[in-house]
Structure 1
Amino acid sequence: MSYFALRHLHISAALLSITLFALRGALALYGVHWRRWSLLRWLPHMNDSVLLAAAITLAWMSGQYPFQQAWLSAKVLALLAYIGLGKLALRAEQPQVQRLLWFIGALACVAYIVAVARTRSPWLGLA
């Protein structure tokens, strides 16, 4: 697979991942039991596996690795924060106000990840 095809796959998987998280988060905030739908339980995990595999392959193909490239390190650290906040946001036992705050935090992490990917700067071109 060419670099550009793989990059397109990575971007498409990222968009689907963000969409699925936003959908599940919104449904949870509205009190809809989205876990009843098997598609919303397994598709995000399958898609995120494709996203991660594409990311690792792109890093390998381009010779750009986290902790060697500041912007890529920032993306990885923001991804870990997104995973943690997203997990809290989707927990059914959390009070709704807390879930909303975790959800907003997770979406802010996603926005940062996308901005860093577009600018290739952890400071988003501000420094």
Structure 2
Amino acid sequence: MDYYYLIKHLHVTAVGLSITLFLIRAYWSIVESSLLQARLVRILPHIVDTVLLVCGVILAAMIGPNQPWILTKIVLLLVYIGVGTIAIKRGKTRRTRAIAALISVAVFVYIVGVAIHHDSASWFA
């Protein structure tokens, strides 16, 4: 049985869930909704992102070490996480959180382009 496609499908599903949960949480942060404090809202994204990361590491190991685009994805993931925390938690004003959310989504879209094209130039390849 080829586990690559099973893990890739799980990874892509987690990607979709992760960005959906991010968008919801970022919106709630911008409008200062109390829903952001719900227990499920605080826990579920971490579970989904853990699945996403574990699958990504397994896929990277299966693909092999000589893939510069994977390093690009890792660096951009760190940027996405950092800016995402500003969008959801650390931004002091609504405007700051909104701008950080837009930057996070742009970085996310770039990461998807890197993954699809297997090229660090992403959509510009």
- Larger displacement relative to structure 2 (99-108 or 88-97): 88-97
Higher helix residue share: 2
Q: Give the match for residue 117 of structure 1.
A: 115
Distance 1:29 1:7, change over 3 A: same
What is the RMSD computed on CA atoms of the aligned residues? 1.6
- Structure 1 segments of 4+ aligned residues over 4 angstroms from their partners: none
Deviation at 1:35, TM superposition (A): 3.1
Between the two proteins, the alignment pairs up a number of residues equal to: 124
TM-score, normalised by the number of residues in structure 1: 0.90
Q: Deviations over 1:18-59 (max 9, x none)?
A: 100001001111221233311110000011111111111111
Query: Match for 2:18: what amino acid?
Result: S
| 2:18 is equivalent to residue 51 of structure 1 | no
Q: Which runs of 5+ in 2 are unaligned?
A: none
**Distance in 2 between residues matched to 1:118 and 1:103, nearest whole Å:** 23
Query: Match for 2:85: what amino acid?
Result: K
Deviation at 1:93, TM superposition (A): 5.8
**Distance in 1 between residues matched to 2:91 and 2:107, nearest whole Å:** 23
TM-score, normalised by the number of residues in structure 2: 0.91
**Distance in 2 between residues matched to 1:35 and 1:27, nearest whole Å:** 6
